């Protein structure tokens, strides 16, 4: 329903043949245009918005006819059975589309999170492997430094003990290590034949201590 007020009777008489029929057709045409531009959900839920859009469409034309629109009221939306069926089909299709969209977005998010998790796990493993290798290398280096320091200390002690002896302290330590090695070999084998180097004079060194 649209309420109008005649402001220019002369223009009404010259611009329209049948005022009531002209206004009715104008409202129907404008209403169809507005609803056609809106979605189904908006059409059923936005009565005030429809009234506002229809009023905007008819005001200018009514002014040209010598009329002033004072109000537009949408009393009831009563579509035919065919339109109702089409509307229900559209509702079902829209719900299915939204469901598919939500499902697809959820799957995409799941795959993204899995990919990020796998990437982070790979980075963690790589960092752990790198740290482990670095720690092992650092440990080996420290062990070699400690062995070298202890060997130097042993050489100093032996050199102090062998003062006045012509033998080199280094040769003495080599001889001691050689004897220890022979003990280990003897423990692991039932019968062992060892050929001592002619230049090894462990007994001579020991007799002079």
- Which structure tokens are listed for 82? 């065919």
- CB burial of 30-52 (b: ≥16 within 10 Å; e: otherwise) equals bbeebbeeeeeeebeeeeeebbe
| Domain locations along the chain | 2-77, 85-166
Tell me 73's DSSP state. -
In the CATH hierarchy, which top-level class contains the domain 2-77? alpha beta
Compute the distance between CA of residue 201 and CA of residue 168 in angstroms, rounded to an integer: 11
Per-position pLDDT tens, the chain of length 209? 677 778 888 887 888 788 788 888 888 888 778 777 776 666 665 777 777 888 888 888 888 888 888 877 776 666 667 767 777 787 788 888 888 888 888 888 888 888 888 888 777 777 777 777 777 888 888 888 887 777 777 767 766 666 665 566 666 667 767 777 767 776 666 655 655 554 545 444 444 44
Cα gap 118→111, rounded to integer Å: 10
């Amino acid at each position: 329903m649209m309420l109008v007020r005649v402001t220019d009777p002369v223009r009404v008489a010259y611009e329209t043949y049948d005022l009531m029929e002209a206004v009715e057709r104008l409202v129907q045409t404008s209403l169809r245009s507005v609803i056609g531009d809106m979605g189904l959900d908006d059409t059923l839920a936005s009565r005030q918005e429809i009234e506002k859009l229809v009023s905007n469409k008819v005001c200018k034309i009514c002014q040209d006819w010598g009329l002033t629109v004072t109000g537009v009221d949408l009393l009831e939306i009563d579509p035919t059975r065919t339109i109702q069926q089409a509307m229900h089909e559209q509702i079902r299709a829209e719900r299915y589309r939204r469901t598919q969209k939500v499902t697809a977005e959820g799957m995409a998010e799941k795959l993204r999170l899995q990919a990020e998790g796998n990437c982070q796990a790979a980075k963690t493993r790589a960092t752990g492997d790198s740290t482990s290798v670095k720690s092992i290398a650092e440990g080996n280096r420290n062990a070699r430094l400690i062995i070298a320091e202890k060997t130097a200390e042993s050489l100093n002690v032996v050199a102090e003990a062998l003062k006045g002896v012509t033998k080199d302290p280094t040769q003495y330590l080599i001889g001691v290590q050689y004897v220890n090695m022979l003990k280990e070999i003897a423990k692991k084998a039932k019968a062992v034949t060892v050929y001592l180097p002619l230049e090894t004079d462990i007994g001579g060194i020991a007799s002079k201590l």
